């Protein structure tokens, strides 16, 4: 079936059903870019991301981000559990507090580690969580894309998200986030895809706000199917530092 014959829901299901490794480990570098008095200042953060996907049971996926650099944030961690019903639970760990703190629903609009990503951006969304509308077919950097608008059904930091999906491989290439119908808050650009052991992943994601602030996320050393034990994705492991 051609991309233009599919509904918005069928397209989003294809995105979510693309081949994913059971487990993966990646090294991620964040460049937080700020302009002060006409000069660009860049703050660097580095962390390792551990992820496990589940084929059955109540969980869809679990992930752990553990910061390595700079020393001021070393050991800081974020644990996320995504349930099959679409619900997400997150816990944040700061070494100086020596305890894990659950990220409450009202805190999901807060910035993650001073970046331009908020906690909600790091959640994995299910198709049932949004009302989806297929807008058009557009070309983006020479790629034919299906453009979809997603309106959250439940509480969200956003009024809507406009999503560009590559019609050939069902990868998301761009997302615009709107705080109101015509007010764009920020744009996520996803690029530099690589293939490793049959899995295709982006290695660069840029979240740019309308005020010029941006965060560049670079993914290095992606290792699929490395075999991760369940206990890595627990509160007790999160606070081990």
Q: Before 70, cis peptide (omega within 30)?
A: yes
Task: Report, as an integer, the average pLDDT of 55-66.
Answer: 94
Q: Find the CATH number of the domain harbouring 28.
A: 2.50.20.10
Whether the model pTM is above 0.95: no
Q: Which domain holds residue 71?
A: 3-238
pLDDT-derived band at 122, boundaries 50, 70, 90 = confident
Given a contact cutoff of 8 angstroms between Cβ atoms, the answer to whether 35 and 214 are in contact is: no
Q: How far apart are CA 31 and CA 229, in angstroms?
A: 30
DSSP codes, 70-118: SGGGTT-EEEEEEETTS-EEEEEEETTTTEEEE--GGGGGSBSTTSS-B
Location of structure tokens 């949004």: 130
pLDDT in tens, 198-231: 999 999 999 999 888 999 999 999 999 998 999 9
Contact status, residue 97 vs residue 133, Cβ threshold 8 Å: no
Query: Considering its fold, how many domains does the chain have in total?
Result: 1
């Amino acid at each position: 079936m051609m991309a233009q014959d599919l509904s918005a829901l069928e397209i989003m299901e294809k995105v979510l059903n693309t081949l994913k490794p059971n487990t993966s480990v990646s090294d991620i570098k964040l460049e937080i870019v700020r302009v002060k008095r006409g000069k660009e200042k860049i703050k660097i953060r580095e962390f390792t991301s551990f992820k496990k996907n589940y084929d059955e049971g109540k969980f869809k996926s679990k992930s752990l981000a553990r910061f390595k650099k700079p020393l001021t944030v070393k050991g800081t961690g974020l644990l996320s559990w995504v349930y099959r019903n679409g619900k997400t639970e997150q816990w944040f760990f700061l070494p100086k507090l020596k305890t894990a703190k659950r990220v409450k629903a009202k805190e999901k609009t807060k910035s993650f580690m001073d970046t331009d990503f908020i906690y909600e951006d790091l959640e994995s969304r299910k198709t049932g969580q949004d009302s989806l509308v297929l807008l058009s077919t557009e070309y983006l950097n020479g790629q034919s894309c299906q453009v979809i608008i997603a309106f959250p059904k439940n509480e969200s930091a956003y009024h809507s998200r406009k999503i560009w999906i590559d019609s050939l491989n069902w990868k998301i290439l761009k997302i615009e986030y709107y705080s109101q119908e015509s007010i764009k808050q920020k744009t996520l650009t996803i690029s530099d895809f690589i293939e490793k052991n049959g899995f295709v992943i982006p290695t660069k994601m840029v979240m740019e706000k309308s005020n010029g602030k941006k965060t560049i996320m670079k993914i290095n050393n992606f290792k699929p199917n490395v075999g991760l034990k369940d206990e890595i994705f627990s509160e007790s492991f999160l606070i081990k530092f």
